[in-house]
C-alpha cells in the first residue's frame, strides 16, 4: 500500500503497523525534550528566526505563507532573508544563494519560486544554522525566515508558525510512518501561531485561504484572468503535496478539470505531458519553475497568493519585538 493511501486508512494494515508509529512518536518527543531541557546544544544567532513549518508530511501551504511573511517584514524595513533545505535540488555547493536565474533542478522548486517572486535573499543549505548565519553575515539580514524546519530543534527560533493543510491533511491522525504526522497534535499547543484553512477557533489561530490571481503563459509573457478558462476543459498538472486542493480550486472557478497528479517535487520531462495535447495545460507555479523550456505551446501556470486575517500581521510583529 503506497504511503499516501496508507495515511488515509484505519484498516488492518494500519493497526498492524501502529507500533512503528508509537516508536516514532516516542523518539520525536524524546528528541525535542533533549533540546528543551538543554541536554542538546541549540545554535543561537544575532538576529531572530521565524520558523514557518508543519506537523505533517506533505503539502500544507507553507511556501505561500513564507512569501507573505517575507513581504510583510520587508515592508516594515526589517531586511528579511529566507533559508530553505532546497528539497529536490541537486547542488552540492552549500550555502547556495538563489536568484531568479538559478535552475530549479539545482536549488529545488520552492526556493526557485521564492527567488523569482521576492526581492529578499534566499539561501539553500542542508545545514540550516549555517544557512541562517550566511544570511546574517553575508547579506545583512535583520530577521531570517526558515521555510520548514519546525523539527530542526538545533536551530534557535523566536517565533514558530505552523501551516495546517486543507481538509484531510491530518489523514488517519497517526504519526509517521503509519500516518502523516511528524509530531503529535499536542505540539500545536506550544507554537506561537497556527494558520489554517478552517475558521480560527482558538487564540493564536488564524484563518487563511489561497486565491488564484491570474494565469501566466508558461513560455511567454501573456497573462489572463482565471475567468477566461471558465467552462473550458483543461489538463491540470500538479506535483505538489496536496494536488487535490489545486484541482478543487480550478473546478470551483467553473473549469472542466482533467486531473493529472504527480509526486511532490516531481522532475518533469516532455513525456509527462504527451497525452495532454488536446486541451490547455494548467499547472501550479511550483511546477512551472521546472517546466520552462519544455515544448508546451498551450501551457499556463497559476499566480496565487494567500489571504490572511488582518490581525496576523500585527501579531507576528509583536512577537518579534523588533
Cis-peptide into 95, omega within 30 deg: yes
Cα-atom radius of gyration of the chain, to the nearest Å? 20
Dist CA 158 CA 226 (whole Å): 39
pLDDT digits (tens), the chain, 322 positions? 456 677 878 888 888 889 999 999 899 999 999 999 999 999 999 999 999 999 988 767 899 999 999 999 999 999 999 999 998 899 989 999 999 999 999 999 999 999 999 999 999 999 999 999 999 999 999 999 999 999 999 999 999 999 987 666 777 888 898 988 999 889 999 999 999 987 767 889 999 988 898 999 998 889 999 999 999 999 999 998 888 889 999 999 999 999 999 998 899 999 999 999 999 999 999 999 999 889 998 999 999 889 999 899 999 999 998 8
Residue whose C-alpha is closest to residue 286's, from 44, 160, 117? 117
Nearest to 150 by CA among 92, 211, 65: 65
The 3-state DSSP class for residue 33 equals helix
Contacts of residue 310, defined as CB under 8 A and 6 or more positions apart, other chains included, come to none
- CB 285, CB 116: distance < 8 Å: no
Residue closest to 304 by CA, chosen among 241, 226, 235: 226
**If 0-12 CB within 10 Å is exposed, 13-18 middle and 19+ buried, where does residue 278 land?**
exposed
Task: Take residue 174 and report the three cell numbers written for it.
Answer: 497517526
Q: In angstroms, what CA-CA distances link 308 with 163, 170, 181, 231?
A: 12, 21, 24, 29
Per the CB < 8 A criterion, the answer to whether 284 and 43 are in contact is: no
Amino acid at each position: 500500500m503506497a504511503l499516501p493511501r496508507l495515511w488515509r486508512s484505519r484498516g488492518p494494515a494500519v493497526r498492524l503497523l501502529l507500533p512503528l508509529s508509537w516508536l516514532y512518536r516516542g523518539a520525536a518527543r524524546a528528541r525535542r525534550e533533549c533540546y528543551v531541557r538543554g541536554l542538546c546544544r541549540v545554535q543561537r544567532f544575532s538576529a531572530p528566526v521565524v520558523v514557518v513549518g508543519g506537523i505533517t508530511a506533505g503539502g500544507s501551504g507553507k511556501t505561500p505563507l513564507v512569501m507573505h511573511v517575507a513581504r510583510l517584514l520587508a515592508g516594515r524595513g526589517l531586511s528579511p532573508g529566507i533559508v530553505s533545505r532546497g528539497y529536490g535540488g541537486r547542488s552540492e555547493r552549500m550555502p547556495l544563494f538563489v536568484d531568479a536565474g538559478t535552475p530549479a533542478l539545482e536549488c529545488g522548486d520552492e526556493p526557485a519560486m521564492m527567488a523569482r517572486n521576492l526581492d529578499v535573499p534566499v539561501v539553500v543549505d542542508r545545514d540550516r544554522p549555517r544557512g541562517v548565519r550566511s544570511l546574517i553575515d553575508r547579506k545583512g539580514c535583520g530577521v531570517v525566515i526558515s521555510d520548514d524546519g519546525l523539527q530542526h530543534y538545533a536551530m534557535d527560533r523566536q517565533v514558530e508558525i505552523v501551516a495546517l493543510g486543507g481538509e484531510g491533511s491530518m489523514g488517519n491522525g497517526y504519526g509517521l510512518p503509519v500516518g502523516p504526522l511528524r509530531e503529535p497534535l499536542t505540539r500545536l499547543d506550544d507554537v506561537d501561531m497556527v494558520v489554517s484553512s478552517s475558521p480560527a477557533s482558538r487564540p493564536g489561530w488564524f484563518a487563511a485561504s489561497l486565491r488564484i490571481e491570474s494565469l501566466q503563459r508558461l513560455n511567454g509573457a501573456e497573462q489572463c484572468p482565471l475567468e477566461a478558462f471558465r467552462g473550458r476543459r483543461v489538463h491540470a498538472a500538479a506535483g505538489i503535496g496536496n494536488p487535490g486542493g489545486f484541482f478543487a480550486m480550478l473546478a470551483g472557478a467553473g473549469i472542466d478539470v482533467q486531473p493529472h497528479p504527480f509526486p511532490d517535487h516531481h522532475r518533469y520531462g516532455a513525456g509527462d505531458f504527451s497525452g495532454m495535447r488536446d486541451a490547455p495545460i494548467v499547472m501550479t507555479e511550483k511546477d512551472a519553475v521546472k517546466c520552462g523550456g519544455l515544448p508546451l505551446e498551450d501551457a499556463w501556470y497559476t499566480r496565487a497568493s494567500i489571504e490572511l486575517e488582518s490581525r496576523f500581521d500585527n501579531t507576528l510583529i509583536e512577537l518579534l519585538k523588533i
